[in-house]
Chain A
Amino acid sequence: MLAAIGVDSIDALFDEIPAELTAAPAADANEGLSEAEVMRLVQARIGQDGGFRSFVGAGAYEHHIPAAVWQIATRGEFYSSYTPYQAEASQGTLQVLYEYQSMMTALTGLDVANASLYDGASALGEAALMAVRAHKSARKLVVPRTVNPAYRDTVRTIVRNQGIELIELDYDRRRGSIATESLARVDAREVAALVVPQPNYFGVLEPVDALTDWAHAHGALAIALVNPLALALLEPPGAWGARGADIAVGDGQPLGIPLGAGGPYCGFMTCRKDLLRQMPGRIVGRTLDAAGRPGFTLTLQAREQHIRRSKATSNICTNQGLMVTASTIHMALLGAQGLRRVAEACHAGLLMLLGSVSALAGVRRAFEGPMFHEAVLTLSEPVDDVLRGLRAEGILGGLSLRRAYPEIDNGLLVCVTETKNECDVIDFAGRIARVMDERPGRAFGA
């Protein structure tokens, strides 16, 4: 090959690079490992991880994933293909994306879906930018404190440099949902959108109809932030209030994507059709080929960075194609009935847990509002100590709210999914009681 090119060494192919840049290659500190060696190393490390029974949710949920989902999604033809620019050689991926868009519009009750964004938090950031573009004059966004704190942080990072202001909205301390009376104090003339989480970070169901109507009455858009699994059971954003929410976003993780240390997950976005041209991300359409047969292709690309450059709706290019493939297979396998049963089992599990802990002294439900599969408990003992005690017994007992919500006294966010049965839940309640009872000092009647 070198002879064909007409050089005598590979180094000669780098002769346009200034010599001072290539003169000192990176030190050869590490030899490469063989596949056997690297797998042994990774297995040894990862093998020491986990091993807990988990009652943590907070935006990432443990669900059963049918075996077929990832066996098919990791077929090389899906796994190692690129963004489907050459449509004729990418009909498999394109049809999966079209089916995914169809399923997401059905779940959210809105007109159109894109082919995914990165994760739920960044999808909310994109929805915020989209709402400001669509509104044209207003540059403020109302983001309630019942939205996942990490999501709020992410939105802040994404919108900060575009002069967009975020208005925080407090929650009702009794119900754990948005304090609708505090909306009256918001200067609505400058608001481009209101974010409506369902269920919210505390697991509580929000008064979505009233909130959506408030946004519309004040010329703002309603952005629904939803758990897609819950929508098998709950009213979809397209049916909220008198006119329905305008944009729905969230994380598709509960639909066939493993916890996997936090990612890759799958941000989704659907919206009303008149907002379509403001939507970021890839969109797949069905069309006809030269022989009149149906086929699929990327469409409306004039919104995107590779065409519109600095005027694009977003800089997003790569999205979460493989996770979309898994989610589509997952939704097809479970169907409406299966997803609904999973959602019901999660809800029933939470009710069981709340029933079991209600008998314990020192454990109270923080909020009265109706819940889906998460709840905030307040403990009479320091929550971090209780979690440590539970970990010693092989249990991740939930998430401490000490830092994000210091006003909730020893708040613990717990989650139950269909992966936990009645024994697990009763066992959990028993261990909480024991750990709280056995705290040092307790024995002396503190």
Chain B
Amino acid sequence: MLIHELSRPGRTSRAQQPRTCDLPSAIPLSELRGAPLELPEVSELDVVRHYTRLSQRNYSIDTEFYPLGSCTMKYNPRACNAAALLPQFLALHPAALEEAGQGFLACMHELQEMLARWTGMAAVSLAPMAGAQGEFAGVAMIRAYHEARGDHARREILVPDAAHGTNPATATMCGYVLREIRTGSDGDVDVGALAQALGPQTAGLMLTNPSTLGVFERGIGEIANIVHAAGGLLYYDGANLNAILGKVRPGAMGFDVLHLNLHKTFSTPHGGGGPGAGPVAAAEHMAPYLPVPLVARVADRYRLLDASERAQTIGRLSAHAGQSGVLLRAYVYARMLGDPGARRVAEFATLNANYLMHELAEAGFDLAFPRRRASHEFIVTLKRLKERTAVSAMDFAKRLLDKGCYAPTTYFPLLVPECLLIEPTETESKQTLDAFVGAMKEILHEAETDPQLVKSAPHTLPVRRLDEVRAARELDLAWTKGRSSPATTQLRLANSRPEN
């Protein structure tokens, strides 16, 4: 039931409202809302019970194993949240950070330095609000770099065909033409194809390493050399940094600029789809272009540097200083890790992934790259199973939900048919991994003996499989008064302005 359907005329949560004020308004009548605002009329208990119950209709890291590949769903330590809910922090106005937020800025300055050290880069900006915005910043910096040198011929960004969709979409947003580079059968970028694509039109290459195929790009040294020799720059998509944190620094691999996903590697919560944070880090020659604001330490005080002091910056990406509350959570996490802890992240994430990959191979699952080591994630392909039983990766994923486990990423990367991209993360125990293998074996058996059971899954969740075609064809995107029957086209009539 929707909160709107709990509504009863005149019911309120009175304690939440300020007293009525009898001062006359100075707003002209013509500017005042004509039609009544249709929001639910409910009590505080109605609200608390409704949303508490809704929360129970979610799978989450706190309640289930969540092996969602490329998303790094590791445990989010509660201390990080406790720090970000300190009342002094919550009350801090963004326009007064230098005057009233020195303690917060000290944390941010240290976070910049830790991220620079762990990535092997010269400088960091915490400004981007998510990974995709970090990518945007990084590619805009590449463009600014070439333009500052008067090199206007570089119109192309190269992206491997296995890349996240954000990479090509970012290239477009930065006004670049996209060119895809194919992947070889061993999962590495086809260096020959890359060499052929490079030229005076190349602005740069965006690369995730380890790649989205769950393997480390072994030719990275040569790739960096030929891209640089062609005058291009190397962008590191930090989506998979968890696999090598504290072990390998992207700077050492030859990357010029990169972004990190703090909501992946630095364990800030995903919150049902955000907020994230996507700091960018730059090598020395790229640092002048970093987005503002930057946190600087000047004579024992922390300051925010804006465009007036950073003449070559690509500019501002948000109204204030980025996702401060996410950054503070990441700071707490990073301090709890320290340098040895950072390395343990990569080691245990890699151990868990390789163990799980081995156990699933033993259980009869096909690996996409059976001769490769897993990074922090790996791919199982159900192509042969589907040919035999008609059970697809999607069916398999839905049946996993019945077994009390969130599903791995399905149908990404697009290169591997019927794929499950599985990322256990470092925070899961061997017992959880073994239970997951058990569930996978059960479903494999069900697919062979009773495929319909798998194809019609899930059976035990609040809803059965949802009709996505209907959702897109008979759009029902908002509740409207008086028409509460489900799944009828319910688009509100705009501009129904009553006379007043």
The tally of residues in A whose CB lies under 8 Å from a CB in B reads 198
Q: Mark B384-422, 1 if CB is under 8 A from A, else 0.
A: 000000000000011001000011010010000000000
Chain B residues, CB < 8 A from A318: 130-132, 263, 270, 273-276
Bound complex: CA of A308 vs CA of B91, how far in Å?
41
CB pair A418–B18 under 8 Å, yes or no, is yes
Which B residues lie within 8 Å of A347 (CB)? 25-27
Are B13 and A86 touching (Cβ within 8 A)? no
Asked whether, in the complex, the Cβ of B397 is within 8 Å of the Cβ of A90, the reply is no
Q: Which of A103, A129, A234 contacts B33 (CB 8 A)?
A: A234
Q: Which of A59-67, A178-186, A356-364, A428-436 touches B?
A: A59-67
B132 touches A316 (CB 8 A): yes
A-chain residues with CB within 8 Å of residue B467 when the two chains form the complex: 287-290
- Could you tell me if B92 and A235 are in contact, using CB atoms closer than 8 angstroms? no
| Distance between Cα atoms of A391 and B96 in the complex (Å) | 10
Out of A154, A161, A231, A308, name the residue touching B173 (CB < 8 Å).
A161
Interface stretch, picked from B63-71, B192-200, B444-452, is B63-71
Is B93 an interface residue, CB under 8 A from the partner? yes
CB of B91 within 8 A of CB of A258, answer yes
Distance in Å: Cβ of A415 to nearest Cβ of chain B: 10
CA distance A309 to B166 in the complex (A): 7
Asked whether, in the complex, the Cβ of A43 is within 8 Å of the Cβ of B31, the reply is no
Asked whether B174 is an interface residue with its Cβ less than 8 Å from the other chain, the reply is: yes
Please give the distance in Å from A403's CB to the nearest CB on chain B.
Answer: 8
- Expressed in whole angstroms, the minimum distance between the Cβ of B476 and any Cβ of chain A is 4
Instruction: Please report the C-alpha to C-alpha distance between residue A46 and residue B104 in the assembled complex, in whole angstroms.
Output: 6
Whether the Cβ atoms of A88 and B319 lie closer than 8 Å is no
- Residues on the B chain within 8 Å of A418, using CB: 18
Q: Is the CB of B272 within 8 A of A84?
A: yes
Given contacts A26-B339, A86-B59, A323-B275, contact A299 B472 (CB under 8 A): yes
Q: Is the CB of A88 within 8 A of B458?
A: yes
Number of interchain pairs (Cβ within 8 Å):
672
B299 CB-CB contact with A under 8 Å: no
Neighbouring B residues of A41 by C-beta, 8 Å: 335
A370 touches B27 (CB 8 A): yes
A23 to B471, CA, bound (A): 53
Contact: A153 with B23, CB < 8 Å?
A: no
Tell me if A109 and B336 are in contact (CB < 8 A): no
Residues of A within 8 A of B340 (CB): 28, 31-32
Chain B residue at smallest Cβ distance from A87: B466
With both chains docked as a complex, state the minimum distance between the C-beta of A160 and any C-beta of chain B, in angstroms.
8
- In the bound complex, do residue B58 and residue A92 qualify as a contact, i.e. CB atoms below 8 Å apart? yes
Question: B463 contacts A47, CB within 8 Å?
Answer: no
What's the least CB distance linking A382 to chain B, in Å? 16
Instruction: Give the chain B neighbours of A283 by CB distance below 8 A.
Output: 477
Known: A239-B34, A261-B92, A304-B165. A83 touches B272 (CB 8 A): yes
CA distance in complex: A189, B320 (Å): 34
* Smallest beta-carbon distance A4→chain B, Å: 6
B230 → chain A, closest Cβ, in Å? 21
Cα–Cα distance between A315 and B175 once the two chains are bound (Å): 13
* B36 → chain A closest CB, angstroms: 7
In whole angstroms, how far apart are the Cα atoms of A261 and B101 in the complex? Answer: 8
Is B97 at the interface (CB under 8 A from chain A)?
Answer: yes
Residue A39 interfacial (CB < 8 Å): yes
Return 15 A-B CB contacts under 8 Å, by A number. Answer: A17-B248, A27-B339, A28-B340, A45-B106, A80-B61, A80-B62, A96-B51, A102-B479, A122-B133, A238-B494, A259-B92, A321-B271, A321-B272, A344-B21, A348-B21
Since A116-B274, A315-B170 are in contact, a sample of 19 more A-B pairs with Cβ atoms closer than 8 Å, ordered by chain A residue number, is A6-B358, A18-B221, A26-B342, A46-B89, A47-B88, A60-B94, A72-B52, A82-B68, A99-B3, A115-B273, A157-B314, A243-B495, A244-B494, A263-B326, A264-B274, A285-B477, A315-B166, A317-B132, A333-B47
